[in-house]
A and B are shown apart, each in its own frame.
Chain A
Amino acid sequence: MLIEILLALCLLGALVVFVLPDDYAPVGALVASLFPLVTSFLMWFGFDGSGNAFLDGGTLAYETMVQWISVGPYAINWHVGVDGISMPLVVLTTVLTTLAILTAWTPIDERRSQFYGLVLFLETGLLGVFVALDFFAWLVFWEIVLIPMYMLIGVWGGPRRKYAAIKFFVYTNVATLVMFLGFAALVFGLGDAVTSLDMPAIAQAIRAGELGSLGGVGPDTLKLIAFVAMFAGFAVKVPIVPVHTWLPDAHVEAPTPASVLLAGVLLKMGTYALLRFNFTMLPDVAADLAPYIAILAVVSVIYGAMLALAQQDLKRIVAYSSISSMGFVILGLVAYTEFGLGGATFQMLSHGLISGLLFACVGVIYNTTHTRMVGDMAGLADRMPVTTGMFIAGCFAYMGLPFMAGFMGEYFIFQGSFAAEFAGSMVFTAIAMFGIVIVAGYLLYAMQRTLFGEFRLDTDYTIGRAAFHDVVPLAVLVVCIIGLGTAPDVFFGMIQDAVGPLLGGGA
């Protein structure tokens, strides 16, 4: 029941905040977001799931399964639950939503109640994606996420907001369709072997080798087609080069809170889905295609980092670096070793926190200076010491400084990736590791030019200290990042427990 309560609280909060008068909306939204936050923490502390939800022997926590719709041969159930992979992402979503709402207090000054209502509605969709286990319910949540994000970018974004919002919407919606076709091919290929759209049931049936041929296409080809279609669909969401072009546009135009959620949680939907669909349901195809996927991952890492290096806009730098970091996640997934899969999941979490922190920092800097151009400012450290400190902490975490979450994620991934069995895994890993050097390069370069040196600002705004409520989310995120870096086991244990069964083969 806790999951339903969690979703209901978000949705109810969204409705209430939507009709609140604008003046009360910021506080109202903060309070409304605390209910799901507390619920998710209750779920985390009482978490008693074990194994992988999609495989035999996995025990879900807070599972509900009731009949919803039955059409022809397929039953569609309301099936939700969390396992060690989804639990951390649920917590990440609720934490980041609350913090994102705080980051909105200063910059959002028009149509506030609508803004916060949409943020909470977005949270509902995001949580739904991570807890739904029936394909249909999952697809509903997956698609619902698009609408509030489209609105958040399109209404409250920067000068080119409409272009960015529509590009985001078109890219991700078409991607969903491609993915849908791939998944449908699998379901129809299974024929009578499945009687529902239950994702675990489908995963188990496919792993047990019950996939038949469909329309004259043999099971092996069918698997390949489905894998490629689903991969292409999810790759847009991650995003992987070359389908990443919507991301910088969306990020640059999006208001700070939307950027925080976009980088922090929305991108994880893509890697989460890749893990759940491609790598859980079709591990043999994943193994066959491993070198090619690894190439895409390495290209994303290096190319994303190079692009970041070339940017002048602080927000663009952070945006492109997300492409780089998500490339590491793909590398971890494709390694298909205990540390690779676990590290990838851990990296989703840590990247969520770190990129959330960096976007929030850029937001605070922009609120005070009204510019994001690296060349327009220098020596901010003297005038905004706290924000600067947080920004430096975020950059260090991104570079993979030990005792911070980013280090643990990348460490796990590289350890797993070195041990991977596909051809050339060592080389790919080595090249990808070089990406960290570039990351360190552009982040240090950006910090050097904006934060240090003689104070200079090419705008008319005077610089004051950031408001207390602006700094709180930064501080909380830094604490989370250091906490996760020093004690990764608060989540890594349950993650490993959930990804371990994937390697066992069989159903």
Chain B
Amino acid sequence: MAPLTALAPTLLLALTALALFVIDSIDPHSKNRTLFSGTATVGSLAALVAAGALLVTGTGTNGGVQFYGGQLVVDGMSLFFTIIFTSVATLVTVASYDYLAGETEQADYYTLVMLAATGMTLLASAGSLAVAFVSLELVSLPTYALVAFLKDNRGSVEAGLKYFLIGALSSAIFAYGISLVYAATGSLLFSDVAAAAAETELTGVLGIGVLMVLAGFAFKTASVPFHFWAPEAYEGAPAPISAFLSSASKAAGFVVAFRVFTVAFGLDITSSVDWVLAFQILAVVTMTLGNFAAATQDNVKRMLAYSSIGQAGYVLIGLAALGGGNNPSVLGMSMVHLFVYGFMNTGAFLFVALVEHWGSVGRTFEDYNGLGREAPIACVAMTVFMFSLAGIPLGGGFLSKYLLFYEAVGAGFWWLAAVGVVNSVLSLYYYSRVVKAMWLNDPASDLSLNSYPIGLYTAVVAAGLVTVLLIPAFGLVTDPAIDAAAALFS
């Protein structure tokens, strides 16, 4: 049994969840925002620091640390993604301080966030399909409840219900896929599946199993055609939870997909089960459809929801461009894009949370008119997020996106990159609409902001700062990402 220190981030998150639970049982009706938000923030920050320390000290190298005979693996990849999850979780818990003002059951909210984050870190470390399934459920179940958290809000409850129904269905598909893979290979452990899959005669069964597993991931990452739940859920959910879902939960779906498809299924079986082709189709359809849908929205939150579907399409290039001889760097750049995306997308949704907090302002683009005069600093941060998401170099999103396309071209998939570039140009249209509304348009005559909530402001500005600082510090992110990706192919 390897030292438990390697699991420190996961354990810290789980312990924070338990601590919140205990606090809640002592005083069930407490509305002590500072205590709950503070505990959750400290917990996720501690997990973030632990993950960073483990990554820096080289815990992830040489195949990483294995638990339970390889069922759980802590390597560079899982630590890299743990940093994403915990960063997003920290931002979300800080921002929720203001968002939850006056709500009851705050402790439950933070407990669920921490449990979902725990599930995500486990998902990143999953070494077998069974662990992947269990941790996927550990991510999903708390988020169903979180989406429906605003009990008095019809939209929130409806979104939660839709999310839950589609989630349950996709879980079933995923589980069935796993059973088919097990039938074909006789194992659930990634490394054993890989060995058996190359020799199995049941390629048909394996193929259907692989596609069903793929569908399970496509649901979690909100890729077309399993994306229908996403705009509804993101729109109905409390805005910090939308941020959490669209950034961290999506990254969690991707990390396990990366691992399953490179380690368990591997490129060896693509002669019989061409999953790379499936990802190519998925990537092109996802980015195009997401972007076109985003361009036609009038509601900022829905626009962000669809745009995050489009962004998932870019990340899918990491899997779609495999086999071109450039594998570690393509996959690595997908990971880097998810990293940057974690900050800029979370920040964007938290800005929406800020606007919702102001209340007097609604949700359409017009409601953002002239905000730049009233709240210049938050609006600068939002400008950074929007331009960075669109691929203008005000933040790290420019570098990650262009390098991803660069690597895709280098791998010989120039058409994937071309579709990506065209989509980027299109995305500039709807992202810049927000910027235009905030700065260029005149505010409604009665626009006045009554408060400047400290938690939301802190989170938005922090996310903005990190997004900008990622430009000079980009090398610090790419190196571990590419190392981690390279480890998958060794």
Q: A residues near B, CB below 8 A?
A: 18-19, 67-74, 111, 114, 136, 139-140, 143-144, 146-147, 151, 154-155, 161-162, 165-166, 169, 173-174, 177, 181, 184, 188, 215
Residue of A nearest to B404 (CB): A71
CB of B239 closer than 8 Å to a CB of A? no
When chains A and B are docked, how far (Å) is the Cα of A155 from the Cα of B372? 10
Select which of B392, B441, B472 is within 8 A of A143 by beta carbon: B392
Chain B residues, Cβ within 8 Å of A70: 475, 478-479
Are B479 and A151 closer than 8 Å at their CB atoms? no
Chain B residues, Cβ within 8 Å of A72: 326, 328-329, 406-407, 410, 482
Chain A residues, Cβ within 8 Å of B474: 68-69
**Residue contacts A-B, CB under 8 angstroms, 14 given:** A18-B376, A68-B472, A69-B478, A72-B328, A72-B329, A144-B393, A147-B383, A147-B392, A151-B439, A155-B440, A162-B440, A173-B392, A184-B406, A188-B410
Closest 10 CB pairs of A and B: A72-B329, A140-B393, A154-B440, A69-B475, A69-B474, A143-B393, A68-B475, A69-B478, A71-B403, A162-B440
Are B439 and A154 closer than 8 Å at their CB atoms? yes
When chains A and B are docked, how far (Å) is the Cα of A482 from the Cα of B345? 53
Task: Kindly name the residue among A71, A72, A155, A215 whose own CB sees the greatest number of chain B CB atoms within 10 A.
Answer: A71
Chain B residues, Cβ within 8 Å of A19: 377
Chain B residues, Cβ within 8 Å of A74: 406
Summarize B's interface: helix, strand, loop or mixed. Answer: helix
Select which of A18, A67, A111, A173 is within 8 A of B428 by beta carbon: A173
Chain B residues, Cβ within 8 Å of A215: 414
CB of B471 closer than 8 Å to a CB of A? yes
B interface, size bucket: 35 or more
Given A69-B474, A140-B393, 9 other A-B residues pairs in contact with their CB atoms under 8 A = A67-B475, A69-B399, A69-B403, A69-B475, A70-B475, A71-B406, A72-B328, A143-B398, A177-B421
Q: B430 CB to closest chain A CB, in angstroms?
A: 13
Select which of B380, B399, B478 is within 8 A of A136 by beta carbon: B399
CB of B29 closer than 8 Å to a CB of A? no
Q: Mark B433-465, 1 if CB is under 8 A from A, else 0.
A: 000100111000000000000000000000000
Chain A residues, Cβ within 8 Å of B425: 173-174, 177
When chains A and B are docked, how far (Å) is the Cα of A184 from the Cα of B373? 40
Chain A residues, Cβ within 8 Å of B129: none
Contacts of B293-347 to chain A: CB distance below 8 A: 326, 328-329, 332-333
Residue of A nearest to B421 (CB): A177
Chain B residues, Cβ within 8 Å of A177: 421, 425
Are B398 and A140 closer than 8 Å at their CB atoms? yes
Are A146 and B326 closer than 8 Å at their CB atoms? no
Q: B469 CB to closest chain A CB, in angstroms?
A: 12
CB of B81 closer than 8 Å to a CB of A? no
CB of B432 closer than 8 Å to a CB of A? yes
CB of B394 closer than 8 Å to a CB of A? yes
CB of B190 closer than 8 Å to a CB of A? no
CB of B276 closer than 8 Å to a CB of A? no
When chains A and B are docked, how far (Å) is the Cα of A78 from the Cα of B439? 32
Q: A366 CB to closest chain B CB, in angstroms?
A: 22
Q: B residues near A, CB below 8 A?
A: 326, 328-329, 332-333, 372-373, 376-377, 380, 383, 387, 392-394, 398-399, 402-403, 406-407, 409-410, 414, 421, 425, 428, 432, 436, 439-441, 471-472, 474-475, 478-479, 482
Residue of B nearest to A72 (CB): B329
Are B329 and A71 closer than 8 Å at their CB atoms? yes
Chain A residues, Cβ within 8 Å of B383: 147
When chains A and B are docked, how far (Å) is the Cα of A68 from the Cα of B380? 26
Q: B369 CB to closest chain A CB, in angstroms?
A: 12
When chains A and B are docked, how far (Å) is the Cα of A114 from the Cα of B402? 30
Residue of B nearest to A125 (CB): B393
Chain A residues, Cβ within 8 Å of B393: 139-140, 143-144
Residue of B nearest to A78 (CB): B472
Chain B residues, Cβ within 8 Å of A161: 440
Task: Kindly name the residue among A18, A72, A144, A173 whose own CB sees the greatest number of chain B CB atoms within 10 A.
Answer: A72
Select which of A69, A114, A154 is within 8 A of B436 by beta carbon: A154
Chain B residues, Cβ within 8 Å of A136: 399
Chain B residues, Cβ within 8 Å of A144: 392-394
Chain A residues, Cβ within 8 Å of B428: 173
When chains A and B are docked, how far (Å) is the Cα of A478 from the Cα of B13? 67
Are B440 and A165 closer than 8 Å at their CB atoms? yes
Chain A residues, Cβ within 8 Å of B479: 70
Q: B418 CB to closest chain A CB, in angstroms?
A: 9
When chains A and B are docked, how far (Å) is the Cα of A487 from the Cα of B407? 50
Are B399 and A73 closer than 8 Å at their CB atoms? no
Residue of B nearest to A215 (CB): B414
Chain A residues, Cβ within 8 Å of B472: 68
Are B333 and A147 closer than 8 Å at their CB atoms? no
When chains A and B are docked, how far (Å) is the Cα of A114 from the Cα of B439? 11
When chains A and B are docked, how far (Å) is the Cα of A347 from the Cα of B409? 39
Residue of B nearest to A139 (CB): B393
Q: B477 CB to closest chain A CB, in angstroms?
A: 9
When chains A and B are docked, how far (Å) is the Cα of A75 from the Cα of B393? 19
When chains A and B are docked, how far (Å) is the Cα of A162 from the Cα of B326? 44
Chain A residues, Cβ within 8 Å of B373: 111
Chain A residues, Cβ within 8 Å of B414: 215
When chains A and B are docked, how far (Å) is the Cα of A166 from the Cα of B393? 18
Chain A residues, Cβ within 8 Å of B436: 154, 162, 166
Chain A residues, Cβ within 8 Å of B376: 18, 114
Are B394 and A71 closer than 8 Å at their CB atoms? no
Chain A residues, Cβ within 8 Å of B409: 184, 188
Chain A residues, Cβ within 8 Å of B333: 71
Are A140 and B387 closer than 8 Å at their CB atoms? no
Q: B138 CB to closest chain A CB, in angstroms?
A: 34
Chain A residues, Cβ within 8 Å of B392: 143-144, 146-147, 173
When chains A and B are docked, how far (Å) is the Cα of A226 from the Cα of B112? 54
Q: A123 CB to closest chain B CB, in angstroms?
A: 16
Are A73 and B410 closer than 8 Å at their CB atoms? yes
Residue of A nearest to B440 (CB): A154
When chains A and B are docked, how far (Å) is the Cα of A111 from the Cα of B402? 34
Residue of A nearest to B376 (CB): A114
Chain B residues, Cβ within 8 Å of A140: 393, 398-399, 471
Chain B residues, Cβ within 8 Å of A188: 409-410
When chains A and B are docked, how far (Å) is the Cα of A161 from the Cα of B442? 12
Chain B residues, Cβ within 8 Å of A162: 436, 440-441
Chain B residues, Cβ within 8 Å of A154: 436, 439-440
Q: A118 CB to closest chain B CB, in angstroms?
A: 10
Chain A residues, Cβ within 8 Å of B332: 71
Q: A237 CB to closest chain B CB, in angstroms?
A: 16
When chains A and B are docked, how far (Å) is the Cα of A177 from the Cα of B424? 10
When chains A and B are docked, how far (Å) is the Cα of A166 from the Cα of B437? 12
Chain B residues, Cβ within 8 Å of A68: 472, 474-475
Are B440 and A71 closer than 8 Å at their CB atoms? no
Q: B278 CB to closest chain A CB, in angstroms?
A: 24
